[in-house]
Amino acid sequence: MKNSTKKERFLLVVLKLIHRKGFKATTMRDIAHELNFEVANVYNYIDSKQSLLEGYLFDIQDEFHKAIDTILATPHSPNEKLRLLVASYIGITTRRPYHQALLVNEWRNLKEPQLQEFVSRRKDYENKMRGIIAEGIEEDQFRANDVEMMAQTILATLRWLHNKCLDSETIINPLEIEKQLLDFIFTGISKK
Amino acid sequence: MKNSTKKERFLLVVLKLIHRKGFKATTMRDIAHELNFEVANVYNYIDSKQSLLEGYLFDIQDEFHKAIDTILATPHSPNEKLRLLVASYIGITTRRPYHQALLVNEWRNLKEPQLQEFVSRRKDYENKMRGIIAEGIEEDQFRANDVEMMAQTILATLRWLHNKCLDSETIINPLEIEKQLLDFIFTGISKK
DNA sequence: TATTTACATGAACAATTGTTCATGTAAATA
DNA sequence: TATTTACATGAACAATTGTTCATGTAAATA
């Protein structure tokens, strides 16, 4: 109980530190210093530096997967599903921007076999997304461009968002962001 | 002459190595081994590991800056300028995908004061892009959304492209990619 | 031919890295 | 009260890191 709260604090402080310095550049001594205790004590909280990264990444990756699976289980149209997916993506990102930043920036630092697992799970996610898009094209809801390219450009757009959540001085409004990103993805920047 | 060719080969081989392993994870010994000579000899080609990264990044960053400045000097409409900008971005990326991958993935590993300089130059680029967009909104060519967000989402879309150039087994067609990305950015995925 | 240049080696360096171990202590639990 | 648990320290480790130095050699240049 109190136990878990203390560990949670540890994980949050370290997450922000890693976000600031980068995973490779963050040493065990940096972590200890940030928490005002000695290096050896870090190992009372975690097993290793690698397992720390794995914990953060698989945790947030799981959240994204649960979200897409929930949406796939609904009876909505492809168009609606994609809108829901974008909304859920934005929700997770605004709720957990540090985790998302780590997911985007530091996944390369995973080692085998976790790297393999991570990439393969991400591919799962992308495949599900491609499924929605392909269906939408079939039903004539989406423009018939390359499905892979469409999925990746949409994801690229969404993956940028954590920067906005973390860097900007202004407080962000998730609903306003959602509106604008949906606008961009579905109808582009041109005024018709 | 022969000198420069040999150094060029060195830089290309090492660029690919760094792209494969990541900058931090690539040791001077890795570099030497990749080129079949001893560690000490690496210093006959470069001054330091840091200067190597700086060389790659400022080189490609320069190319992007020259491109946008050329476009800004034309008398085209904002709409046309943005199309040209996207086209030039795609051109650079397809011509030098390894450099672009480094630019996107490894700029965080620059140290001060180069990091400062890099970020400030990138901000310049983004400001010029925002200028085009703001002008386009004024002239009623673009939808009146948040300029910052529009610039960043367009850039996010473009920054993904190097993956396509490097990872895919299929040979890419720059013109086809240009068409599809312009499609996405200007008119979105919806079939109207 | 004499000398400079470009490219190469091997040994060594000081600093930094993640991790372990023996040990301590205050609080929670039995 | 006795004992377990959670959290903490300090010293040490073996490995890895970027870099330097003295030295060599074949080819290009003077």
**Band of pLDDT at residue B81, cut at 50, 70 and 90:** very high
pLDDT tens digits, residue range A139-177? 999 999 999 999 999 999 999 999 999 987 777 888 999
Length of chain B: 192
pLDDT tens digits, residue range A122-139? 999 999 999 999 999 999
Report the distance separating Cα A2 and Cα B161, nearest Å.
Answer: 47
Characterise B36 by phi-psi region: left (phi > 0), alpha (psi -120 to 50), beta (else): left
Report the distance separating Cα B129 and Cα B152, nearest Å.
Answer: 10
Helix-then-strand count for chain B, H and E: 10, 0
Count CA atoms within 13 Å of residue A176 on its CB side.
Answer: 8
* CB < 7 A to strand C: residues 33-52, chain A: 39-40, 42-43, 48-50
- The pLDDT score that the predictor gives to residue B192 is 67
Q: Which is higher by pLDDT, A4 or A104?
A: A104
pLDDT tens digits, residue range A10-65? 999 999 999 999 999 999 999 999 999 999 999 999 999 999 999 999 999 999 99
Nearest protein residue, CA measured to C1' of D5:
A3
CA distances from B163 to A22, A100, B11, B160 (A): 22, 20, 21, 6
| CATH architecture for the domain at B1-46 | Orthogonal Bundle (1.10)
Substitution target from B18, B21, B27, B149 for chain A, most A beta carbons within 10 A? B149
Decide: A78 and A71 in contact? Cβ < 8 Å: no
Which chain B residues are Cβ-neighbours of A105 within 8 angstroms?
A: 108
Q: Does A170 touch chain B (CB under 8 A)?
A: no
Question: Is the pLDDT score of A4 beyond 70?
Answer: no
Report the distance separating Cα B113 and Cα B140, nearest Å.
Answer: 41
Each domain of chain B, given as residue ranges in start order, spans 1-46, 49-187
Nearest protein residue, CA measured to C1' of D12:
A40
Structure tokens at A110: 């995973």
- The pLDDT score that the predictor gives to residue A187 is 92
Domain A48-187 has CATH 3.40.190.10: no
Question: Is the pLDDT score of B1 beyond 70?
Answer: no
Q: Do B185 and A189 touch (CB under 8 A)?
A: yes
Domain B49-187 has CATH 1.50.10.10: no
Question: Is the pLDDT score of B171 beyond 90?
Answer: no
Length of chain A: 192
Structure tokens at B96: 């030098």
Confirm whether B1-46 and B49-187 share one CATH topology.
Answer: no
Structure tokens at B89: 């971005």
Question: Is the pLDDT score of A1 beyond 60?
Answer: no
